[in-house]
Amino acid sequence: MKTIYTAIALLACTATAGRAAAEERATRVAAENVSVATADGSLNISADFVLDSLSLRSNSQIFITPVVRGGAGEETVLPSLLVSGRNMHYAYERGSLRGFDDIRRHDILREVRRDNGRPQRVAYLTSTPLQKWMRLADVRVAFVYDSCGCGVAGAPVIADEIPLNLNPAKEMRKVMQTPAVTELPVEIHEGRARVQFEVDRTELHAEPYVCRNGQRIDNRAQLKMIDDSVKYALTDPNVEIAGIDICGYASPESPYLHNEYLATNRSRALAEYLADRYHLPREKCTYSSVPENWKEFREQVVENKEITDRQRTDLLELIDRPVYGPSDYDAKEKELKTSPKFAGLYRTKILPQWFPRLRATTFAISTHLRPMSDQQLAKIIETTPEKMSLNQMFRVARLYPEGSDEFNRVIDIALRHYPDSETANLNAAAAYAARGDYDRAEQLLAKSGDSPEAWNLRGIILTSKGEFEQAAECFRKAGNLPEAAKNLDRLK
């Protein structure tokens, strides 16, 4: 049973031409057993108005009127219950009040005489065509009273307005997607070193070494450069090495295929050394090579200030000549050595000074988060969420009750860091729909794809707008999603 009480003020009105204002009194009116239902395209409203505490002078009357109101200003005024004092009741029965404005302003469903001092309950039941806006989520019914016959505009409300609750969207089941487990985001630290190798050999020497030709190799400074880069990459205690990628570059002298062999195996030797040093699986240290570093050779030619413009033009023409295989590269190298245009420069500058700078190694150190519990990840998301995968963020969200402020905040963080993810957009849309923000949810659904969960949520949003037929079609498009089937049943 639902009972509504308030103190109402009665303004006594007379049925005579003068209509002097009557004394205002504080009274009480109650509405019990309020019921709102729909049937056959009609909205039915019923209530029991309890007048036990109401006292009316003989020449007074009040109008109790249900008004259905929508969130966008829609309004439907239902017929009024007219409660009359003794004299006004007899005048109403004789029809002598029909010409007065206060009567004309109301559609009278029923008129009753108030028997002052006695218990009195009046049953009220009426219906009105069910309009589309009445099925929206923010529609309510108010019982207003009019003690002067002025109409419902500005008339006080007996008590709080009552939601019609004809729209089932709020109770419908929203479904989120658990993001797929993917590779963690990585942070890449890049560097360049000049690790030396013995001529025509691929063994890496980490300690000082004297070659067969007397050349002394000392790679300690270059390997320390890589080591310092690894330590810098690991300054965050929450990360670990995801992988190290090595790329070795060779200069263009010697046959191309031989350079390819040397560059590839020297890169592999360095990758294996780093894997052993940092206790990484060999597959986490990858390697590749550029057998002949013509790209940086070209950059040297463009930037060098010691050659003539003619030499620069001739060299760039040679470097930019199209190649289709190893023999074309070898032809270029032979021309550098033997052509009168280049031979002198090759012996004095290119081979002894430029080519050694082309023999280098680049490295890229990738780091990602260490394996962590969901509780540990809840701390990471507060500091460095960019290191987390979408799946990890969703796991953190699940630590909190769905719909809580903490849950919604994590879902928003996930959307901010994965704005193009269909799953992140869908889950955020579902969270906003659960909060009743269907406009924002609809915006996010535009980037949520066509999964069953997305179609289910589209159905809920259409339901909130009163578009029941279109909503039902969306629920059907959700296929075998159990929640969509239940939402469709609720809609029916």
Contacts of residue 369, defined as CB under 8 A and 6 or more positions apart, other chains included, come to 184, 238, 239, 240, 380, 387, 388, 392
pLDDT, tens digit, for every residue of 304-359?
999 999 999 999 999 999 999 999 999 999 999 999 999 999 999 999 999 988 88
User: Looking up tokens 């013509």, which residue turns up?
Assistant: 294
Task: Tell which wins on pLDDT, 21 or 175.
Answer: 175
pTM above 0.85, yes or no: no
- What's the pLDDT score for residue 78? 93
Residue 183's pLDDT band, with cuts at 50, 70 and 90, is very high
Q: Give yes or no for a contact between 27 and 8, defined as CB atoms under 8 angstroms apart.
A: yes
pLDDT, tens digit, for every residue of 121-143?
999 999 999 988 888 878 999 88
* Distance of alpha carbon 156 from alpha carbon 81, whole angstroms: 15
Please, what is the average pLDDT of the chain? Answer: 88
- What's the pLDDT score for residue 146? 79
- What's the pLDDT score for residue 21? 30
Residue 99's pLDDT band, with cuts at 50, 70 and 90, is low
Record the tokens describing residue 183, joined without a space.
């590779």
* Distance of alpha carbon 417 from alpha carbon 400, whole angstroms: 20
Cβ count near 124 (within 10 Å) = 21
- What's the pLDDT score for residue 187? 93
Listed residue (442, 483, 482) closest to 465, CA to CA: 442
Which residues lie across from 239 on neighbouring strands?
369
Residue 9's pLDDT band, with cuts at 50, 70 and 90, is very low
Listed residue (4, 164, 10, 3) closest to 76, CA to CA: 164
